């Protein structure tokens, strides 16, 4: 029975990681308002080492659509500006010699719909990942039954429990998707 418990713990952990990954991806999607997470994937060449902006500067939201980047080392200001310009962020940095301001324009209707499709696809990928974890768990349980470690009844109960876990995490994905979609489509 310890093996079954281990299967469930692993399954729940992996499903939870799928939801966490989706939330991380959603944080990087620009939804018309300033969010420091949009800079997480942008790397700056800092002494020949790719370094994330949040390790080189204080990033804050000064207004709803304005991010302020204040580097701790003024010599890296140009590097940060260049990294933002070459990224696919779609925002022009405004450098005043001390700080960089990023002003996010409001999204147009077409772009909102594109983003909604994009986040829908991300949610679907997360659900597929969760179902793959379920499939792996059920295969392990069936192998345990073949090996004689668990009974037929144990297998049936375990499959139900695995499905319940799957439903719980798919519901979490749906919740994440609904919140992000509402944020994107909000004008």
The structural domains of the chain, ordered by start, are 2-28+108-185 (1.10.132.20), 36-103 (3.30.1360.40)
Phi then psi for 62, rounded to 5 degrees? -90, -35
Res 30: pLDDT: 67
**In this model, does residue 72 exceed pLDDT 80?**
yes
pLDDT greater at residue 36 or residue 12: 12
> Which pLDDT band, with edges at 50, 70 and 90, does 168 fall under?
very high
Could you report the per-residue pLDDT of 50-65, keeping only the tens digit for each?
A: 888 888 889 888 887 8
- Residues ≥6 apart with Cβ < 8 Å to 58: 69, 70, 72
81-100 confidence digits (pLDDT tens)? 888 888 877 788 888 888 88
Question: Per DSSP, what are the bridge partners of residue 44?
Answer: 51
Hey, which of 33-37, 54-58, 122-126 has the most confident mean pLDDT?
Answer: 122-126
Cα-flanking dihedrals φ and ψ of residue 72, to 5°?
A: -75, -25
């Amino acid at each position: 029975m310890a093996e079954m418990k281990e299967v469930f713990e692993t399954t729940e952990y992996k499903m939870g990681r799928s939801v966490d990954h989706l939330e991380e991806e959603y944080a990087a999607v620009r939804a018309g308002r300033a969010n420091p997470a949009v800079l997480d994937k942008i790397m700056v060449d800092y002494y020949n080492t790719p370094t994330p902006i949040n390790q080189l500067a204080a990033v804050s939201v000064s207004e709803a659509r304005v991010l302020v980047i204040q580097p701790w080392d003024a010599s890296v200001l140009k590097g940060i500006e260049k990294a933002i310009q070459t990224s696919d962020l779609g925002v022009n940095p405004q450098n005043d010699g001390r700080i960089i301001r990023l002003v996010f324009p409001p999204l147009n209707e077409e772009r909102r719909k594109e983003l909604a499709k994009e986040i829908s696809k991300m949610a679907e990928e997360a659900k597929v990942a969760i179902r793959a974890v379920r499939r792996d768990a059920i295969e392990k349980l069936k192998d345990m039954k073949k090996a004689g470690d668990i009974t037929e009844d144990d297998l049936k109960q375990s499959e139900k429990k695995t499905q319940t876990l799957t439903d719980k995490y798919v519901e979490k994905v749906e919740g994440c998707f609904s919140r992000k979609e509402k944020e994107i489509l909000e004008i």
